[in-house]
Amino acid sequence: MEVLGIDIGGSGIKGTIVDTKTGEFLKERHRIPTPQPATIDDIAETVKAIVDHFKFEGPVGCGFPSVIQNGVVKTASNIHKSWINVNVDEVFGHITGLPVHVFNDADAAGAAELQFGCVKGYKGLAIFLTIGTGIGSAIINHGQLIPNSELGHVYLDNGMKVEHFASDAVRKKEDLNRKEWGERFNIVLKYFDKLFYPDLFVLGGGSSKKFHKYAETITVKTPVKPAELLNQAGIIGAALLASRAL
């Protein structure tokens, strides 16, 4: 099935048409900077612009930086607060005139890794972390995705939220080099290791492409690997989950 997958992030909104049987991109990815502030009307218009770019007329799947329950936005950390309690499926469906299904962005990326990437067939407990403007998470236990985990909002022992301590946005803001940031992110992994005792950590988002630059700073005992789909996972997973929702 061909589905338009869209990944809505804090800095960019990216999308392309995906073959949901193989996970392959059928067109070159198109990216538009995320409107600031990320209000309902502006985000909806940007989603429509992605659809119009591809002249697409089929089903659409979106990864969204929020807890999503039955299409309704429940949290707003990297988007405008006006989104809370809005049915985002209906908003995007109305403006595009297409069937749209929206999911937590990290869950979408995790679903892609589960279907096509390094968690496929994995029998243990895996924690998938997307590293970008914020830090998203997907918990996968014996092949089952547990939705809306939002581990980026957990408070560390130092009193800081995980994503306020070690997101890629924080790395850029504080001008940390990859080694300095990796040492900080290692603290996060050790904290999650104590909480969950997972069998595997998988790192996605933009920082997954740079894993070789900070791998030596990651000393947590649990195995850590970059996502096989890198930062394409969000688009692929959004399309995949939308195909299952039809």
Residue 8 burial (10 A CB sphere; 0-12, 13-18, 19+)? buried
| Cβ-contact 57, 64 below 8 angstroms | no
Q: Which of 155-164, 215-224, 227-236 has the lowest mean pLDDT?
A: 227-236
Summarize the confidence of residues 52-76 as an average pLDDT.
97
Confidence of residue 10 (pLDDT cuts 50, 70, 90): confident
* 3-class SS of residue 73: strand
Give the tens place of pLDDT for each residue, 135-166.
999 999 999 999 999 999 999 999 999 999 99
The whole-number pLDDT of residue 190 equals 98
Residues in the chain: 246
- Give residue for tokens 């589905």: 3
pLDDT at 199 over 90: yes
Tell me the three state secondary structure of residue 62.
strand
Residue 28 contacts residue 51 (beta carbons within 8 Å):
no
- For the cut 90, the answer to whether the pLDDT of residue 208 exceeds it is no
SS3 state at 88 = helix
- The pTM (predicted TM-score) of the whole model is 0.94
State the Cα–Cα distance between residues 200 and 142, nearest whole angstrom.
12
List, in order of start, the domains of the chain with CATH numbers. Answer: 2-107+233-245 (3.30.420.40), 121-227 (3.30.420.40)
DSSP letter assigned to residue 225 = E
The first and second tokens of residue 221, run together, are: 């005992």
Given a cut of 90, whether residue 78 has pLDDT beyond it is: no
Give the pLDDT band of residue 196 (cuts 50, 70, 90): very high
Provide CB contacts within 8 A for 25, sequence distance 6+: 16, 17, 18, 232, 235, 236
Whole-number pLDDT of residue 177:
96
Tokens describing residue 133: 């403007």
Look at residue 140 in the predicted model and tell me its pLDDT.
97
| Ramachandran angles phi, psi of 98, nearest 5° | -125, 160
| Average pLDDT of span 161-183 | 97
